[in-house]
Amino acid sequence: MIKNKKQLKKACVVGDPIAHSLSPLLHNTWIKTLAINAVYESKHVKSDMFFQSTKDLFANSDFVGMNITLPHKGAALKRADIASEEAQLAGAANLLVRKGGQLYADNTDIAGFCSPLLESRRPAEWKNKKIVIIGAGGAARAALIGALKLNPGAIILVNRTDERAKTLADQFGHQVKAVSWSKREDALLNVALLVNASAAGMRGADPLDISLRRLETDALVYDLIYTPLKTNLLLEAERKGLLVLGGLDMLIAQARPSFEAFFGRPPPRDNAVKRVLLKALGENA
């Protein structure tokens, strides 16, 4: 049977650059699995065209929403009529949809950060524990907000630019403390969770200069990077026998609430989409 094209739902991800995005492959895999009459595309949008492009896309009644990646997450929040608490806290949005006749912004990066952690260990196991986050940009801010939801005892921020770490930490009160880059390895004592939320270690970027020798054997190391799949940080952690999580886990987790917001159905919970993404990354390696 030929599907009525008028019923085709459309969603997309916008960014600059955008060709590298795995979001179309991810969402279209779920769309195919669930046999939804929909398509998810990528759109290259420059900063000076973001507001107009958003207006044009939402003017189409078949368009159900968009994901937003760099450098537009701040602009997406400003573009919205209403926003979730998470988006307001993050000062950024990666999801725009219609809600009650208004444009609604959300930040699913926070839930995407937390979900793999809560699947790897029971929520109570994170309570009162010490967490170290490397970075001070947008990804680190989302990780910090997510980490606070775990009810930790303390969160330590470290960044190669000390002042940026201090500025971010100061926005969240006494529970969050910045430590100088020169003391980064001392900060790993008694840590339950180490998160790399910086670009260091990404393919084409500078390496992440940190040793894990002070980490306890029950610590979990979480690198938000997924190119390469196994960063040097994760490889070192595995050599020490530590549990690890990679950026692909967060990528899939943050996409789940977006997919449901777009198409009104939760995506499959199996690992099929991860296998598709792993194959794509392997082919591009």
Catalytic residue ranges: 73
Residues 258, 31 contacting (CB under 8 angstroms): no
Alpha-carbon span 278 to 260, nearest angstrom: 23
Total residue count of the chain as it appears in this document: 285
State the CB neighbour count (10 A cutoff) for residue 76: 27
Host H or E run for residue 261: helix 247-263
Residues 87, 74 contacting (CB under 8 angstroms): no
Which residue in 109, 96, 6, 16 sits closest to 55, CA to CA? 96
Residues 143, 172 contacting (CB under 8 angstroms): no
Residues 128, 270 contacting (CB under 8 angstroms): no
| CA 59 remoteness from chain centre | 28
Alpha-carbon span 110 to 87, nearest angstrom: 9
Write b or e for each residue in 240-253: b if 16 or more Cβ atoms lie within 10 A of its Cβ, otherwise e. eebebbbbbbbbbb
Which residue in 54, 58, 98, 99 sits closest to 79, CA to CA? 54
If you write DSSP's letter for every residue of 211-255 in order, what string do you get? --TTS-TT-EEEE---SSSS-HHHHHHHHTT-EEE-HHHHHHHHH
